[in-house]
Amino acid sequence: MTIKLNGRIDSNNASAVEQSVLKQIEQGDKTSLVLDAAELEYISSAGLRVLLRIRKTNPAMRIVNVSPEVYEILDMTGFTEMMTVEKAYRVVSIEGCEEIGRGANGKLYRIDQDNVVKVYKNADALQDIQHEREMAKMALILGIPTAISYDVVKVGDSYGSVFELLNARSFAKILAREPEKMDWCVKEFVGMLKKIHGTLVPAGKLPDMKETALNWANFTKDYLPEEAGEKLLAMIREVPHDDHMIHGDYHTRNLELQNDEVLLIDMDTLAVGHPIFELGSMYNSFIGFSERDHEVIKKFQGFDYEIGATFFHKALAAYLGTSSETKIREVENKARIVGYTRLIRRTIRRYGLEDPERRADVEHWKASLLELLAETDTLLFNANELELDAVPENLQELQSFVEEHLEAADCPARAEMQIGVAVEEIFVNIASYAYAPETGKTKIRVEVSEEPVTVTITFLDHGVPYDPLAKADPNTKLPAEKRQIGGLGVFLTKKLMDDVSYEYRGGQNILTLKKKLG
């Protein structure tokens, strides 16, 4: 039951107020007591004592709509510690305010130079606001720069949360107005993404994105051929649990540049999980949603489809630390599997399949999903691993991939060159002999370990079993015309590397090169 308090409660009327409230409680329904303080202007210590006594018989009592002045008194005296005291919400009008952002749960308006308000769609958003606030606080504690709402306000029939955001511009706006800043945006965007994915979250604090993805797949599989649906589910199940943070809705409208600082906003979708789930959502934001209708991204992000597609591609390259198209495509395809799974579910659940346009969307995504499922066996990826066709034309891409990883590890130029020679020798060998006369794939893994800093490069192929090390080293003392043809490449490799080893295991040739740096 709710009882209204009004005017002043001081020593002159405290006992009258007390008696009146107790009488109303006695006559009212026996549900938990709520004191509505919207009209309460002042409360003296005599009034506080009344509240204390009422609470003694009504331990679950709450006081709501408390003005800032009365709240201050209740806070100073410790009342806010011992009972639920809810502040009155300031009323904010957004009439004529610039809409500066739009997310899954609401819209962002600038209310003055320093402040923005996020207005939530659903009328009963207090819980969502509280949730987002907690998420943002936790992210901040874990080192992610973000804006935390400092006030909850009433906007018409909805609630809003107010943030301080000075002179901030979203990355979407920067890209739309100054596309020449693309590379800078990519760098900052990926820097933040890596920071998020490098943040370990204490167990149980955030929802597990894998669970969510399983829900998507369980829904979407019913619209796929049985075998494909089962494969999709199995692939998501196979993704290991990961306690690193993912944002869940990471795109250029949720990254703000405030002066020189990059801030992440819209924190209500924070979760933990494998990065592939993040990349899936990112694919949707920049490409997936707009694949058939290129206007969609224009409405959502304010820039053209081509810019979105280029941005995603560059961001993925930077995230993986490679320019290898093969590598980027591999991870992009895995992200698309996650993305389409989500898009199909979302569209069917929101709009059904009645509308021919929506149905065409779903059919389009489904066709792509089936194609990808047929050629993909896992959602896992390793940025240090590249699989490509073992053909001489791919040497350049492979060399670049290895170099990028060596440069990231601050490899000295001389060692980088020596490794380059060895990698070339081994790859050309595999390309020439492993599958001849057919062609096949080979996988290269680049790993850097500490103390001493050592680079390990592993080649794996499914070609004919062949141990290049079994052959005796060529006699280099012989004059050129007497030497055997071939074999020199392997010899060179052994000379340049600190260790070279071979094994045949699980139907694969596995050749490992080790080189100590410094």
Partner 1 sequence: MRIPHKIDLHMHSSVSDGSDSPAQLLDRVKEVGLQLFALTDHDAIKGCVTMLELLREGDPAFLPGAEFSCRDEKGKYHILGYGYDPRAESIRQLVETGHGMRMRKLRARLDFLRERFGVSFPEEELRWLMAQDNPGKPHIGNLMVKYGYARSKEQAIKEYINQLHIRSDFLRPEQAIAGILGAGGIPVLAHPSYGDGDQLILGEEMDQRLRWLMERGLQGVEAYYSGFTGKLNREMLDFAQRYGLYVTAGSDYHGKNKMIALGDTGLEDAAEGPEGLRRFLDQVRKEQPC
- Contact between 62 and 34 under an 8 Å Cβ cutoff? The reply is yes
Q: Tokens in use for 198? A: 């490098």
Q: Is residue 2 at the binding interface for partner 1, with CB under 8 A as the rule?
A: no
Burial (CB count <10 Å: 0-12, 13-18, 19+), residue 212: middle
Which residue lies nearer to partner 1 by CB, 22 or 309? 22
How far is 312 from 318, CA to CA, in rounded Å? Answer: 10
Which residue lies nearer to partner 1 by CB, 53 or 445? 53
**In which element (H, E) is residue 119 found?**
strand 115-120
How far is 224 from 265, CA to CA, in rounded Å? Answer: 35
Q: Is residue 367 at the binding interface for partner 1, with CB under 8 A as the rule?
A: no
CB of 242 to partner 1, least distance (A): 43
Give one word for 352, left, alpha or beta, with left for phi > 0 and alpha for psi -120 to 50. Answer: left
Contact region with partner 1 (CB under 8 A), list: 32-40, 74-82, 237-245, 409-417 = 74-82
Q: Give the β-pairing of 255-258 and 245-246.
A: unpaired
Contact region with partner 1 (CB under 8 A), list: 76-84, 115-123, 227-235, 476-484 = 76-84
Which residue lies nearer to partner 1 by CB, 24 or 376? 24
Helix, strand, or coil (residue 59): coil
Selected from 29, 81, 112, 481, the binder of partner 1 by CB under 8 A is 81
CB of 14 to partner 1, least distance (A): 8
Contact region with partner 1 (CB under 8 A), list: 6-14, 91-99, 185-193, 399-407 = 6-14
Which residue lies nearer to partner 1 by CB, 11 or 501? 11
Which residue lies nearer to partner 1 by CB, 51 or 174? 51
CB of 39 to partner 1, least distance (A): 19
CB of 81 to partner 1, least distance (A): 6
Selected from 37, 65, 66, 79, the binder of partner 1 by CB under 8 A is 79
β partners of residue 431: none
Q: Is residue 6 at the binding interface for partner 1, with CB under 8 A as the rule?
A: no
**In which element (H, E) is residue 102 found?**
strand 98-102
Residue with the two structure tokens 């955030």: 206
Sheet containing 261-264: order of strands: 168-170, 255-258, 261-264
Give φ, ψ of 499 to 5 degrees: -155, 135
CB of 12 to partner 1, least distance (A): 4
One-letter-per-residue 3-state SS of 368-429: HHHHHHHHCCCCCCCCCEEEEECCHHHHHHHHHHHHHHHHHCCCCHHHHHHHHHHHHHHHHH
Q: Is residue 82 at the binding interface for partner 1, with CB under 8 A as the rule?
A: yes
Which residue lies nearer to partner 1 by CB, 77 or 218? 77
Q: Tokens in use for 154? A: 């009433």
Contact region with partner 1 (CB under 8 A), list: 73-81, 167-175, 217-225, 441-449 = 73-81
Q: Is the dihedral of CA 196, 332, 240, 509 positive or negative?
A: negative
Selected from 4, 64, 67, 77, the binder of partner 1 by CB under 8 A is 77
Residues 7-66 that bind partner 1 (CB under 8 A): 10-13, 15-16, 18-19, 22, 44-46, 48-49, 52-53, 56
CB of 1 to partner 1, least distance (A): 20
Q: Is residue 78 at the binding interface for partner 1, with CB under 8 A as the rule?
A: yes
One-letter-per-residue 3-state SS of 429-488: HHHHHHCCCCCCEEEEEEEEECCCCEEEEEEEECCCCCCCCCCCCCCCCCCHHHCCCCCH
Contact region with partner 1 (CB under 8 A), list: 77-85, 258-266, 294-302, 403-411 = 77-85
Which residue lies nearer to partner 1 by CB, 80 or 105? 80
Selected from 73, 206, 287, 344, the binder of partner 1 by CB under 8 A is 73
Residues found near partner 1 in the complex (CB under 8 A): 10-13, 15-16, 18-19, 22, 44-46, 48-49, 52-53, 56, 73, 76-79, 81-82
